Amino acid sequence: MTQKFIVDAMLGKLARWLRILGYDTLYYKDAEDWRIVKRAEEDKRIVVTRDRGLCNRARKRGVECFLVVPDTEVERTLAELAVKYGLYLDVNPEASRCTECNGILEKRDKNLWRCTRCGKEYWKGRHWDTITEVLIKAQALMESYGTAGNSRVRSGKGKIAGEDSSERHKEETET
């Protein structure tokens, strides 16, 4: 899980999903753009936002930014992120993060995990089916893009850094 994210206002649901998938994700609900960009720069996080202005600001500083089109369902956004950044759309409670605070989970019992930061408990119960359903849909979308290729490979180590800059330049010239 080498990719890290910073997600801004209105994308709280997406932030929770990235945490479920095990990606270190900060959620800045009400922060000024420069703060988000600064934090992303410091931690090498990918900015995920609906705010085009924020994206431009981030890219100017060499920070990767993913612009979410309004009214995109979360499955689609996850699929797009997976294709672009090689995310693995599968959930493993051992590697999940707390949806509330981004903390690391610790196994307490057979089907029980607890957040090491805020103490929230997670049961692998019936809601698990819902999680699986959403991810299956996202995976199907990802495959329909046809460019999935090696993005399904779990280990994205070292791959991302090089790809990011070329992707970014390509995008800038297109728009």
The piece of 25-33, 114-122, 141-149, 161-169 that touches Zn ion (CB under 5 A) is 114-122
Select from 39, 117, 137, 159 the one that contacts Zn ion (CB under 5 A): 117
Q: Which is nearer to Zn ion, 14 or 98 (CB)?
A: 98
CB of 156 to Zn ion, least distance (A): 25
The piece of 86-94, 102-110, 132-140, 166-174 that touches Zn ion (CB under 5 A) is 102-110
Q: Is 4 in the site for Zn ion (CB under 5 A)?
A: no
CB of 105 to Zn ion, least distance (A): 8
Select from 115, 134, 141, 142 the one that contacts Zn ion (CB under 5 A): 115
Query: What's the 3-state SS for the chain?
Result: CCCCEEEECCCHHHHHHHHHCCCCEEEECCCCHHHHHHHHHHHCCEEEECCHHHHHHHHHCCCCEEECCCCCCHHHHHHHHHHHHCCCCCCCCCCCECCCCCCEEEEEECCEEEECCCCCEEECCCHHHHHHHHHHHHHHHHHHCCCCHHHHCCCCCCHHHHHHHHHHHHHHHHC
List residues binding Zn ion (CB under 5 A). 98, 100-101, 103, 115, 117-118, 120
